Amino acid sequence: MAHLQYFQDKLGYHFINSNLLDEAFIAAGAPVSRTDIEGPVQGNKRLALVGDAVLRLCVLDEWYPEGADTETGDNLVEDVGTNEKLKQIANEWKL
């Protein structure tokens, strides 16, 4: 799976459990509607929940030492964590 290797190279991180990376790219319901896809019926929803929490933590970890107000922290999380912003990054990385 060359695309998974490319993705890991772009991240600068290589997964010990590559099954998690495979699962991350499975849309909800895909294993039911397509016979060529194996994985959990809920697709990547469980991982997405964890990923959202990690992304929020990373953003706030940068924000907190600055001493800025909570509104600024909330706005940073909203700006960085939107699907539109993540889509923009994916396009920049040619994913």
pLDDT over 70 at 83, yes or no? yes
Give the pLDDT confidence score for residue 24 in this predicted structure.
83
Confidence grade of residue 32 (pLDDT, cut at 50, 70, 90):
low
Same domain? For 36 and 57 the reply is: no
> Model confidence over 45-79: pLDDT tens digits?
888 889 889 999 999 999 999 999 999 999 999 88
Mean pLDDT across the chain, nearest whole number? 85
Range among 18-22, 33-37, 42-46, 58-62 rated most confident: 58-62
Same domain? For 58 and 25 the reply is: no
Q: Give me the domain span that covers residue 95.
A: 47-95
33 in a structural domain? yes
Question: For residues 55-86, b (16+ Cβ closer than 10 Å) or e, as one string?
Answer: eeeebeeebeeeeeeeeebeebbeeeeeeeee
Same domain? For 90 and 77 the reply is: yes
36 in a structural domain? yes
d(CA 18, CA 93): 20
Domains in the chain, number: 2
